[in-house]
Amino acid sequence: MHGNLIFSDYLVIVIYFIVVIGYGIWIYRRKKKTTTDTKDFFIAAGSLTWWAIGASLIASNISAEQFIGMSGDGFFAGIAVAAYEWIAAIALIIVAIWFIPVYIKNKIYTMPQFLRTRYNETVALIMAVFWLFLYVFVNLTSILYLGALAINGLLGGQYLHAVMVGLAVFAIIITLGGMKVIGYTDVIQVAVLIIGGLATTYMALSIVSEITGQGRHVLAGFNELLKEAPDHFHLIFNKPEPGASQDYVNKYLILPGIGMYAAGQWISNLNYWGCNQYITQRALGANLQTARTGILFAGFLKILMPVIVMLPGIAAFVLYRHGHLQLAGGTKDGAYSAVLAFLPNGFKGLSIAALTAAIVASLAGKANSISTIFTLDIYKKYMNVEASEKKLVWTGRLSIIIAMVVSVAFTWNDLLGIGGQGGYTFVQKYSSFISPGVFAMFLLGMFWKRASGAAAVAGIITGFAASIFFNQFAVTVFGPETILYSAFKNAKGVYEIPFFICLGWSFFTTVLVMVAVSLAGPKISAKAFVLDKAMFKLKPSSIILIVLTVLILSAIYVKFW
């Protein structure tokens, strides 16, 4: 693709960089309070509008993993993979109504602080250290590696390390300005991401229409996808029957039909959107109505994301079947890059800018979360209790640089094996082992006054142990078919329980243990939160956003069930 880039492509990319950096500098200079105020630097207290919060949530969430991975899964499995995004829209509604009021009323600014306030220091410290390792060595490295790999491929395949360093430096520049700069530059990032992503989808559908002899018409291209790949337009996979093809079984293992909607998808999404410093940080500095509206706005935007990152994958599948496309690297993850090769000059630069926007926004958001947890929950709490505001801000900035340097060092030659496992698999492999325990701790901690500190520690251990058991040993102990699950042979011929089913049972087991331990303690924990109905009351504008989102999603599911 590099050989096909012309001046207009490079011009679009350069303009993108200039606009984002220039706007970031302007925002920073408008309010230099970020140099001394920790709340302003880490969470932009009272500075972000609802639209900036919503845009920042989306910008931080969408990265190379979605553009490359979800497009590849669209090529392989079709719109069923959109469940990740559309269930997230409902999860964001739940977070906006019930989670955020608890955080804001209790002045919670970090997730370890929540655990310290609700449970005890031990739980908070354990999770602070875990989150730092997870964010630096799993999330930051995977975003950087996959992002550099994707853009390098679009530029010709000879610039991996240069792109890697460039992305890291660009992200550092934005992050050093604090959450206010991140939040408002994310508005531009999301605009570029959506415009570039929709342009790619538009052109992909036009090309499908053209190669099937119907001219360059988007609607005709979409109808052709429905005609050529009807199996790619079902949201629910039925349980594989005896004799089902390995290809169908592989699809079911990653998207196990109704079963994943019973628990796994909700746990994954609610944990990610409601109990994750990387995400919640954007809303914690605002007042309740601003935070709630921003989160609901992000939920509405989530409906659009599969159109941007999944439909090009299905278009690639149809083009591939007609012999008009070859996959980069020979795998489904090459689908998005292969489609970009069809784009006309100028659009290629816009697509690269959109991908860069998604990557840099995610890197900046993750780096800021690393900085916040280290500075406020470890450095200030255990290393320098008397540190001044200015000292804390500069400590945060230094930790941003160190975290990014470490991530570059570990991704330089892919020391962690991200490329071999696949980015999505790499992230899930490490984060999923702890997510059932984390979500159980937060859920019970918010809404059950009896949940105790001892139960929280038991929850961490149980969630981790149960995840390992269901993912690695359950089939050996209980066999492939039980009342709890159905296991199927994967591509390697090994019985495997679908990931979301494992997640559901791990969470259920963790909740049972936490409830049992808590019942042995006081009827009401001394650290229980005080809740009142007024916290959860919605204004008409919020209700309208919720109803609109639910109606659109309902129509989609009725159409493509």
Q: Any idea which fold 2-416 has?
A: Sodium/glucose cotransporter (1.20.1730)
Is residue 205 within 8 Å of 308, Cβ to Cβ? no
Residue 455 pLDDT class (50, 70, 90 cuts): very high
Q: For the ranges 184-198, 273-287, 299-313, 361-375, which has the lowest average pLDDT?
A: 184-198
Domain ranges of the chain: 2-416, 432-530
Residues 6 or more apart whose Cβ sits within 8 Å of residue 360 = 20, 167, 170, 171, 174, 189
Q: For the ranges 61-75, 278-292, 326-340, which has the lowest average pLDDT?
A: 326-340
**What pLDDT score does 334 carry?**
74
Q: What is the DSSP string of 100-156?
A: HHHHHHTT--SHHHHHHHHT-HHHHHHHHHHHHHHIIIIIIHHHHHHHHHHHHHHTT
Q: Which residue has the higher pLDDT, 35 or 184?
A: 184
Residues 6 or more apart whose Cβ sits within 8 Å of residue 491 = 246, 250
Q: Which residue has the higher pLDDT, 552 or 72?
A: 552
Residue 542 pLDDT class (50, 70, 90 cuts): very high
Q: What is the pLDDT of residues 378-399, one digit of tens each?
A: 999 999 988 888 899 899 999 9
Instruction: Kindly tell me the sign of the dihedral angle through the C-alpha atoms of 270, 530, 113, 109.
Output: positive
Q: Are strands 488-489 and 495-496 parallel, antiparallel or unpaired?
A: antiparallel
d(CA 69, CA 71): 5
Residue 418 pLDDT class (50, 70, 90 cuts): low
- Which helix (H) or strand (E) segment holds residue 6: the answer is none
What's the predicted TM-score (pTM) here? 0.89
- Which helix (H) or strand (E) segment holds residue 218: the answer is helix 218-228
Q: What is the pLDDT of residues 229-269, one digit of tens each?
A: 888 888 888 888 888 888 888 888 888 888 888 888 899 89
> Is pLDDT above 80 for 302?
yes
Instruction: Kindly tell me the sign of the dihedral angle through the C-alpha atoms of 529, 533, 539, 545.
Output: positive
- Top-ranked range on mean pLDDT: pick from 57-61, 322-326, 504-508: 504-508
Cα Rg, the chain, nearest whole Å: 23
Residue 2 pLDDT class (50, 70, 90 cuts): very low
Chain-centroid distance, C-alpha 53: 15
Q: What is the pLDDT of residues 480-497, one digit of tens each?
A: 999 999 999 988 888 999
- For residue 480, the tally of other CB atoms under 10 A from its CB is 15
Task: Locate 520 and state its tokens.
Answer: 């042995």
Q: Which residue has the higher pLDDT, 318 or 540?
A: 540
**What pLDDT score does 45 carry?**
66
User: What DSSP character marks residue 159?
Assistant: -
**What pLDDT score does 215 carry?**
73
Average pLDDT over residues 267-290: 88
Q: 486: which strand partners?
A: 481
Q: What is the pLDDT of residues 101-150, one digit of tens each?
A: 999 999 998 899 999 999 999 999 999 998 999 889 888 888 888 888 87
Task: Locate 237 and state its tokens.
Answer: 């996979």
User: What DSSP character marks residue 538?
Assistant: P
- Which helix (H) or strand (E) segment holds residue 471: the answer is none
> Is pLDDT above 70 for 330?
no
Sequence letter at residue 555: A
